[in-house]
Structure 1
Amino acid sequence: MVYGYRVHGPWSPHEGTRFNPAKLLLDPYAKEIVGNYDGSDIFLGHDPANPDKRDTRDNAAVALKARVAAPGPAPAATAGHARIAAGDRVLYELHVKGQTKLHPAVPAALRGTYAGLAEPAVLDHLQALGITTLSLMPVQHRADEQRLQHMGLSNYWGYTTIGWFAPEARYWSGRPGTTPAGEFRAMADAIHARGMELVIDVVYNHSAETDELGPTLSLRGIDNALYYHLRPDDRALYENWTGCGNCLNLGEPRVLQLVMDSLRFWACEMSVDGFRFDLAPVLGRDAQRGFDARAPFFAAIAQDPVLSRTLLIAEPWDIGPGGYRLGEFPPGWLEWNDRYRDTQRGFWLRQDHDDKASLGDFAHRFTASSTQFAHNGRAPTASVNFVTAHDGFTLRDLVSYNERHNLANGEDNRDGHGHNMSNNCGVEGPSDDPAVLALRSRLQRALLATLMLSQGTPMLLAGDELGHSQQGNNNAYCQDNETTWLPWIGACAPGSDAARMSAFVACLAALRREAPALRSIRWWPAEAPQGTPPGIHWLRPDGEPMTPADWNSTGTALAVLFSDGTDENGSAWLVMVNAGPQAVSFTLPAGTWRLSLSTDPGHDPGEVGQPLGDTAQVPFSSIGIART
């Protein structure tokens, strides 16, 4: 059965009511969706020439409609359960289509699909990298903005949801005998069979119906004033704390129920282990009181026997008043830490600029940002550390471009971040200068090593291990093409730059697994047992303890000594950091130290495991790791 709703009622936009029975409406609980929103004005609830008037054209023939879905298999007993220990988790943010669209080992008919992501060659690569948790960009059914469609573009990232129970059919292979939901579940099973977790990015802060001039597809026509935050001065207008035209009102019980039912569906029936919540402060916002970590949504999650055991990750900002809430989400939640991103970029890429980061800044972020997270019983793993994400430059572009190059988006290069804290290493864009390429490789390796060795939960951006470039586009949300599709062709050929970088990431992940001190889930050093020295020591290159003057200096080198004996072999670990322009000699603490890893691209792998003597030389813009 295929069906839609017609909802009768008053039409009075300035009072918040927008009922229009001429418009067939999508059931927000639809598990399969028929039709395609093409941006034409017949989807408008209002007269295109006069927004105060109701449009009387019937759109049933083309409207988005629900198809009754066959019941899926019974959920597994572990459905919706996080599977990885908090200190072991390594996130990898990816796009379902972009991950495999150009992958030569994936059958052509499956590239860019859920089934393609489940292919052994794809999962083999991720496992080899040391990834534990796949974080998928939005996979719920979307409707692309009218503006983009008129330019021949689409919302590739997918942050324009209109069907919160329906997997996006654009990522379905269409193979006979399969459905989008069935193929998604099979993908989840394949991921779980590898011992990995599956997290999806969800958008419950706004809908694809956009602002007062947007289409009437579902919620707006069912009960506009209930589902959305409306402006108190003119209820024809919407609060826009998202920058996307509207905001869902989770303070309303029926709206909260929709969100909770959707989350439980994905956890219980689709075998998802966790969720990354886009613009999460909106979910706890009230027009009068602003953000509240005790809002109904957070209380509902905490008491739910399934959802409370899932992995919960917040993007802790929106664009509303007081919208930046890093560190303010409830215990048990993880949060994207953009201050970690900016500090590491400032430390490694901006030492010659006003926005450089100090040694103190580096140390604070390296040990999980206690200022933001060390309260209310929250663990260091609450900090999701990242250097790059879907929003912004890729890692390769971060060291290749000083300016954004977003003209292809059709917004005259005004969109995207204007301050990227990047460093093009002397040449804007591609270069064949060996010195430039060597510096870019060095900086990428230093940033990756810092990320993987920092306390907290590391998150890698898909394709950074392959050297993926978006040609300087730092807001490629509407680029469904080779700008965003990962460059697999030849990327991992033996000896290629991508193969070497992938192997380097795998070594970092292995090192993180070997060294419990580097992934400690307790705070340093405040929780050291009474009467014992702290397990972490901050040292100058000469081996002496850092002093207040050293922290306040313009220095660019330090060593971090972990000596609490948490290693199963009782080993101590030493991380030597040099962000300066010259090599630095580090005096080593007492003991027999052996080199475990160097980020220097010219490093001889044969030196790994060899005794270091009393000192170790760390080249410029590099990290060295040693153990006893």
Structure 2
Amino acid sequence: MLMRQPFPNLQFTYTPPFGPIVQESGVQFSVFSRSATAMRLLLYNKVADREPAEIIEFDRDSDRWGDVWSLHVAGLKHGQLYHLQASGPWDPDNGHRFDSTARLIDPYTQALAGEFMKSDDGVIRPPKCVVIKDTFDWDGDRHIRRDISESVIYEMHVRGFTKSKTAKIDSGGSYLGVIEKIPYLQSLGITAVELMPVNEFPIRDIYGKKLDRPNYWGYDPMAFFSPHRGYAHDKTPGAQITEFKQMVKALHAAGIEVILDVVFNHTCEGNEQGPTLSFKGLENQVYYILSEGKHFSNYSGCGNTINGNHPVVREMIFHCLRHWVHNFHIDGFRFDLASILSRDRKGNLVPNPPMVELIAEDPLLADTKIIAEAWDAAGAYQVGSFGSARWAEWNGRYRDDVRGFWRGDGGTLGALATRLAGSSDLYEHSGRPPFCSINFITSHDGFTMNDLMAYKHKHNDANGEENRDGDNHNISDNYGVEGPTRKKSISMIRDRQVRNMLTTLMLSQGVPMLVSGDEVRRTQKGNNNAYCQDNDVSWFDWRLVEKNADLLRFVKSLIAFRRNQPTVRRREYLTGRPVDGRKIPDVSWYAPDGIVLDWSQQELAMMAYIAAPSRVEDPEELGRDMVLMFNSTGQTMDFTMPAMGRNMKWNLFLDTAAVSPADIYPDVDGPMPPDSMVVDMPHHSMKVYVSGKIPGEGKKSRG
């Protein structure tokens, strides 16, 4: 009888068919170009070389197979530096932009080395491509495969997280720096990091000059398959691959998944005035959406738009996603300006776009989380209607409605209730459960949580655009003084509002996303578009961990409660009807006086009674009933506990108006309500009472 032998360290890898492939006898280079008349391989000995040491011509007869140019070069190996160079028609009116002098980045290169070099001859010398042979030992690492409904996402910037001197580490601003701070991430309790773009983007301008306004965020892709060399501690060509994998492996060992923010909507080549660095010089009319066959369509707001629904580009994107998932063990993706993937080759939005469906159905991505930023820069807004149930979405409506309620905007009571209950108005019609909603109040794009309570207006003068950049619709307030203040009355309201927002986020149905630094009140000094601020404006100030330790304790306790409490992370929507065998509704809404809420009232104060599910995923998991009290008015009010819960034992879990440590009780053992069941609710505050444990009835089917 044959026995299956375990091989715990055997890893599944994925080899794209293009780019350089290392073989025993040398390296095979393959590149797509339909319209090129000639193709050359430029080989370099050192990163600092301005000119190639050898130029090898592809033979049109023996090295071209259909539209693929493929050449084997004997004797080459891992670490070889190269560019491509293509000749062809210069015919912009018909979409062709070949430049026989341009040194081109291979679209499938797995690593880049060096910088753009200074030029006095007009020739652009971009970073060099690196031939890579993967020998990394994953030591049995696998994808964590945590259900997205169980996730707490932490959006962060690899460089900014540890670049500040206050991080007090040797490898600040790098992949290795993230590893050194994993204990902090573990203590916070998050389950996944969502990394702002880590694929290659320019560090200097195309002629090697230091950029006055660097693209710190990284939303300017230059090589989709390559980890950014600027985040490597070791500057040896290709070292970024090893260090990136070390980071992923260490995060997985800590139980933390890795989600990448990917930008398949434009490249750094820009429009007609932009440089020829890669795609333009290989097959411009295929890789980009062109209007009238010649002008770059700009649905991204960045000068050009990737032609994602062209079969060749679609294939490239799939190879890229599989490469990151199976060669770098990435657990998921957040697709920047994902609505562009819904546009056809002429730029029209189409129903059931093939690209969106194929990503959801790809068997090699089946274990992968896929999250859409369901809009683009040309007016498409598809929140609630992007793709199938496999797709989750950044819920921009959640952000706006929660901000509006806590700011005191009229008519937002019902909107808050809908967001708290899982945004069924957006997702239920398409058969998507509440965990398809990625709830967030802040993101990298906009004010930080601290600044949302300190500034009415953006202050982006440091960006060099006379404060014209950035969103003007911030739904923020300063509560009397623009910016920092010593007035205790204003500081008190701001403190409460930060806690109100964070509490609402963590106790809403759906999946919460927290922005790095919000847990310790990181500030960008009112800058709501810090894309070019590679400095203390954007970097995580680690002194805040101690300075705002009380808020950090509050957030840690909130996250721990969420992860342990099935009541706030259901797989079905709250409906107001009895479910799961209990005789009480899953959610009930009450006015402050304890009677059923009149939704036509304008007063921004209410209670939500959320009943624990009696059937849960884990039969040993015990839910708790919860009463959430919201007072977004400027007056202190009395709230009367609903009659349905007066015969139950309740303990205070949190009070956003209280001073630490009385603001939160991690063990849910806070004071009981008064015997009168009338609770004093200060202005701009929230209280949460939690019942004793409700025994579960066993594992619930996911069918």
Q: Tell me the TM-score normalised to structure 2 length.
A: 0.80
Q: 1:356 to 1:393 in 2, by over 3 A?
A: farther
1:345 deviates by: 0.9
The corresponding residue for 1:163 is 223
**One-letter amino acid matched to 1:263:** L
Q: Secondary structure at the match of 1:3?
A: strand
- 155, 170, 179: which is aligned to 1:118? 179
The corresponding residue for 2:251 is 191
Q: 2 CA distance for matches of 1:309 and 1:196? A: 15
Deviations 1:225-264 (A, max 9, x none): 01000012xx331110000011111221111111111111
Contact 2:141 2:249 in 1 (8 A): no
Q: 2 CA distance for matches of 1:101 and 1:618? A: 42
- 123, 129, 136: which is aligned to 2:195? 136
Q: Secondary structure at the match of 1:134?
A: strand
- 585, 594, 597: which is aligned to 2:651? 594
Q: 2 CA distance for matches of 1:151 and 1:171? A: 17
The corresponding residue for 1:313 is 371
Tell which deviates more after alignment, 94-103 or 65-74: 65-74
1:82 deviates by: 5.4
Q: 2 CA distance for matches of 1:294 and 1:67? A: 38
1:320 deviates by: 2.2
Q: 2 CA distance for matches of 1:176 and 1:627? A: 55
The corresponding residue for 1:553 is 601
Deviations 1:590-622 (A, max 9, x none): 222111111114366298432213222222111
- 558, 570, 585: which is aligned to 1:508? 558
Deviations 1:38-75 (A, max 9, x none): 69796xxxxxxxxxxxxxx554xx23331101224366
- 191, 196, 214: which is aligned to 1:154? 214
Q: 1:292 to 1:77 in 2, by over 3 A?
A: farther
Q: 1:103 to 1:537 in 2, by over 3 A?
A: farther
Contact 1:402 1:422 in 2 (8 A): yes
Deviations 1:94-138 (A, max 9, x none): 000110112645522x0000000011xx22222222211100000
**One-letter amino acid matched to 1:291:** L
**One-letter amino acid matched to 2:110:** K
- 338, 341, 345: which is aligned to 2:399? 341
Contact 2:203 2:211 in 1 (8 A): no
The corresponding residue for 2:51 is none
**One-letter amino acid matched to 2:189:** G
Contact 1:561 1:574 in 2 (8 A): yes
Q: Secondary structure at the match of 1:286?
A: coil
The corresponding residue for 1:536 is 587
Deviations 1:169-219 (A, max 9, x none): 100001779810100000001100111110010111111101110010000
Larger Rg: 2
Q: How many pairs are equivalent? A: 595
Deviations 1:415-437 (A, max 9, x none): 00112111111111111222221
**One-letter amino acid matched to 1:219:** F
- 131, 144, 152: which is aligned to 1:90? 152
Tell which deviates more after alignment, 207-216 or 594-603: 594-603
1:289 deviates by: 7.3
**One-letter amino acid matched to 1:170:** G
Q: 1 CA distance for matches of 2:383 and 2:432? A: 15
Gaps in structure 1 of 5+ consecutive residues: 43-56
The corresponding residue for 2:353 is 295
Contact 1:212 1:236 in 2 (8 A): no
Q: 2 CA distance for matches of 1:476 and 1:192? A: 30
Alignment of 1:464-479 (within 5 A): 464-479=518-533
Tell which deviates more after alignment, 160-169 or 373-382: 373-382
Q: 1 CA distance for matches of 2:277 and 2:426? A: 40
RMSD: 2.4
Q: Secondary structure at the match of 2:545?
A: coil
Alignment of 1:160-559 (within 5 A): 160-174=220-234, 179-232=239-292, 235-288=293-346, 290-292=348-350, 294-349=352-407, 351=408, 355-488=409-542, 490-493=543-546, 496=547, 498-525=548-575, 528=579, 533-546=584-597, 550-559=598-607
- 133, 137, 141: which is aligned to 1:70? 133
Structure number with higher relative contact order (C-alpha < 8 Å, ≥ 6 residues apart): 1
Tell which deviates more after alignment, 31-40 or 204-213: 31-40
Q: 1 CA distance for matches of 2:158 and 2:431? A: 35
1:287 deviates by: 4.8
Contact 2:401 2:419 in 1 (8 A): yes
Q: Tell me the TM-score normalised to structure 1 length.
A: 0.90
Contact 2:291 2:346 in 1 (8 A): no
**One-letter amino acid matched to 1:113:** S
Tell which deviates more after alignment, 28-37 or 91-100: 28-37
Contact 1:396 1:468 in 2 (8 A): yes
Query: Higher helix fraction: Structure 1 or Structure 2?
Result: 1
Q: 1:39 to 1:505 in 2, by over 3 A?
A: farther
Q: 2 CA distance for matches of 1:418 and 1:274? A: 31
Q: 1 CA distance for matches of 2:318 and 2:628? A: 44
1:36 deviates by: 2.0
Q: 1 CA distance for matches of 2:308 and 2:135? A: 28
Contact 1:227 1:249 in 2 (8 A): yes
Q: 2 CA distance for matches of 1:7 and 1:462? A: 43
Q: 1:58 to 1:540 in 2, by over 3 A?
A: closer
The corresponding residue for 2:35 is none
